[in-house]
Amino acid sequence: MDWAAIGADLREHWVVYLSMPLVAAVIGYVTKRAAIEMMFRPVEFVGVWRLGWQGVIPRNAERMATVAMELMTTNLIAPREVFGRLDPKRVAEELRGPIERAVDEIAREVLAQYQPNLWELLPRQAQDRVLGRIRREAPAVVERLMREVAEDIESLLDVKDMAVRALVRDKAVLNRLIRGTAAPEMRFIARSGIWFGAVIGVVQLGTWALTKNPWVLPVFGGITGWLTDWLALKMIFFPRQPRRFLGLVTWQGMFQRRRMAVARDYGELIAGEILTVANVLEAVLTGPGADRLHRMVEREVRRSIDEQASLAKPLVVAAVGSRRYQEMKAAAARRAIEHVPDTVRHLEGYATGALDIRATIVRQIQGLTPVQYEGLLRPAFRQDEWKLITVGAVIGFLVGELQLVLLLH
């Protein structure tokens, strides 16, 4: 090997040689940025037929949301324990105003419909006494209902189904959940490409000086794109526990090392955008358990009417007829159910503080094993990371080809 000739070539073309690690660093950074953006963008498919692209996470929204929410509902949120924090008496007090207004409206409407003559003949004071009695008893009905809901919350609220539907319906929220939680990891991936690429570029420089093989530039470009992507993704998660390498450097996967910060960010996003009180109430009122809730409300309304009419029930039944009396109870129950959504929204302020979903998630994340904790983010990468790495390799190879063309001309 003619070292003198190699040295002369290095001195003559030093700019070209110097550019190699710099270009490799650029390839490392660009391929990382491309991989990151391809994970999240575009939110909807862009292309013709199957020729196109949709962000890895939005495209797999249902699968990723299901995996993430399975972890959450298994290890982070226990619906009965969380909803047990709602004090039925406090709930009844919070809803007193809207319930009284609803009672007035329902009672006047139903009585006017099923016994218009009797209701109209009653003096205003008598009407007010009837309504007042119903209003006074309404909080007790709410308390009974709340206790039953808390005991049977698993059949009324499917937290996993609610969260998955919300994330699939609005894929941008899923993007924010993963990107917001892993923002430092994303920055690390991009920046690590610069340093990994520069190191590989130095090896490329030496290989080119020794061989002058035209394949060196595109092959090393591809290696830079592939290897730097692979290394960055592995360094995010591994090792799960701190390990010392070569007796000099101690390293732990970035995501594992940031558990406290991740717990806060994850809890904030889940509580602020997914398991909000408004979303939970909507899921209870419209989800798979809604019919069961409606039956509970109807039963309580019917029972309340019977209790209120207990002394005068034979007279009431005689006046309106048994069938009409049953129809009246059913009508009152239907109207009560119609008022439920607007009424329970007055609970949001109290329920947000009482449920304290954010603090619950933060506390539970701290108790996860390293493998369980990794599951908060790992599903976003695992299945399709080979595609991102391959794209990085292709971009690196093409940049290497371009570099070779410029060098030869």
The pLDDT > 90 percentage for the chain reads: 0
CB 297 within 8 A of CB 335: no
Q: Above 70 in pLDDT, residue 314?
A: no
Per-residue model confidence (pLDDT) at position 285: 75
- Range scoring the smallest mean pLDDT among 121-125, 156-160, 289-293: 121-125
Each residue's pLDDT tens digit, 373-395: 887 777 666 666 676 677 777 77
Task: For residue 163, give the nearest of 144, 150, 177, 146 by alpha carbon.
Answer: 177
Greater confidence (404 vs 334) lies with: 334
65-79, 92-106, 133-147, 302-316: lowest mean pLDDT where?
302-316
pLDDT value, residue 92:
80
Please give the average per-residue pLDDT across 127-134, as a whole number: 69
Helices (DSSP H) in 171-258: which residue ranges?
Answer: 171-181, 183-211, 216-237, 254-257
Q: pLDDT digit string (tens) for 164-206?
A: 888 888 888 888 888 888 888 888 878 887 887 787 778 777 7
Q: What is the mean pLDDT of the chain?
A: 77
Q: Residue for token digits 């008022």?
A: 339
Q: For residues 321-331, give the mean pLDDT.
A: 68
Question: 268 or 20: which carries more pLDDT confidence?
Answer: 268
Average pLDDT over residues 135-151: 78
- Average pLDDT of span 319-340: 70
62 burial (CB, 10 Å; 0-12 / 13-18 / 19+) is middle
Residue 409: pLDDT over 70: no
Q: According to the model, what pLDDT value does residue 407 have?
A: 63
Q: Of the ranges 101-110, 203-212, 380-389, which one carries the lowest mean pLDDT score? A: 380-389
Question: Using CA atoms, how far apart are residues 409 and 406, in angstroms rounded to an integer?
Answer: 5
- Kindly tell me if the per-residue pLDDT of 313 is higher than 60: no
Q: What is the pLDDT of residue 96?
A: 79
Average pLDDT over residues 62-69: 79
Mean pLDDT across the stretch 271-297? Answer: 79
Q: What local confidence, expressed as pLDDT, does residue 1 receive?
A: 60
pTM (predicted TM-score) = 0.68
CB 23 within 8 A of CB 399: yes
Question: Mean pLDDT, to the nearest integer, of 148-166?
Answer: 81
Which of 112-121, 215-224, 361-370 is predicted most confidently? Answer: 361-370
- Helix, strand, coil shares of the chain, percent, nearest 5, are 80, 5, 15
Q: Which of 130-134, 230-234, 252-256 has the highest mean pLDDT?
A: 252-256
Q: What percent of the chain has pLDDT over 70?
A: 85
Q: What is the pLDDT of residue 262?
A: 86
The predicted model gives 342-353 an average pLDDT of: 82
Better-scored residue on pLDDT, 116 or 75:
75
What is the model's pLDDT at position 384? 63
- Provide the greatest CA pair distance for the chain: 119
Q: Name the amino acid, one letter, at 358.
A: R
Q: Is pLDDT of 85 > 80?
A: yes
311: pLDDT strictly greater than 50: no
Residues 340, 336: Cα–Cα separation, whole Å: 6
The 3-class SS string of 227-244 reads: HHHHHHHHHHHCCCCCEE
37 vs 3: which has the higher pLDDT: 37
Beta bridge partners of 251: 243
